[in-house]
Amino acid sequence: MHDEKVLSRIYLDAVLPSLEMLTNEDAHASTIALKWNGDIRFSVGVNGPRSTLSFRDSLVKHHSGKTAHPDIILFFPGATMLNNLFRNKGVRIAIPAKGVTKLKGLAVFSALAKYMEKVLDGEAGCVDLRAKLTLNILARAMAVISSYDSEAQPFRHHLNGVAEFRIKEGDAVHVDFTSPEPNALAGHAACPDFILEFATNELFLKVAEDKVDVMVEACLENIVLKGNIHMGQILNNILDKIGHYLQKEVKP
């Protein structure tokens, strides 16, 4: 089971930010983004989460919360309505509170989102980019879930440090739990308290898709845990929650 409100935050603050990375790393994605300049705000309910995508000169920037004067505002009365838009399922309703005539902007966003879906599914782009996007979505989803999921919040109270997730000789992300609001960041941490390292991009993606025996790979030292193992055990509970939310569920 998952909480629709938490899932909406994952879409807004974990999946949408990946479009920024995608346009920075992939030539085809930046070509799509080049077709429109403007801002699109996604809003859930009167007091729910907000997220804004800014399209500028072939690149996308993600902003959590409100930004001034967006060109398009898509208002979703409830979390499930936003989630249905992203997962291409059920009734999809958005009230265009502003920017009814900005159809080109919506078309560009839709094309870019569909392309990212292909990259995440392994149908476009390269393995390195797919792994990098997935790694960053995982870290951001961990921050969201540990903050807002009622079953994960008790685990959050026992975390006070920095966890790093990385590919050996590849990309890395880390989640900082030292402040009240967990923060997911790209790159290596200065002094991580816990490290989870995967030997290759391919292995990490198989683990993310639950297509490999993690214990066997750990015994072969293709998956390595370092540092505060107790912290790692707590994080494993949150990683399980991420699996419930992301497995065959999150699609841009």
The 10s digit of each residue's pLDDT in 152-164 is: 888 888 888 999 9
d(CA 221, CA 199): 8
Confidence of residue 250 (pLDDT cuts 50, 70, 90): low
> Where do the structural domains in the chain lie, given as residue ranges?
4-120, 138-246
Q: Whole-prediction pTM value? A: 0.89
Burial 99-114 (b: 16+ CB within 10 A, else e): beebeebbebbeebbe
Give the HSE-up count for residue 197: Cα atoms under 13 Å, Cβ half-sphere: 15
| Range 4-120 classified under CATH 3.30.1050.10 | yes
CA pseudo-torsion sign 124, 130, 136, 138? positive
Q: Spell out the residues 6+ positions from residue 45 whose beta carbon is closer than 8 angstroms to its own.
A: 76, 77, 78, 79
Backbone phi, then psi, for 38, in 5-degree steps?
165, 180
Query: One-letter amino acid identity for 215?
Result: M
Question: Tens digits of per-residue pLDDT, 79-89?
Answer: 998 998 887 75
Q: Assess whether the region 4-120 and the region 138-246 belong to the same CATH fold.
A: yes
Least confident residue range of 82-91, 111-120, 185-194, 215-224? 82-91
**How large a percentage of the chain has pLDDT more than 70?**
92
Question: Tens digits of per-residue pLDDT, 46-62?
Answer: 888 999 999 999 999 99
d(CA 62, CA 104): 19
Write the CATH number of the domain with boundaries 138-246: 3.30.1050.10
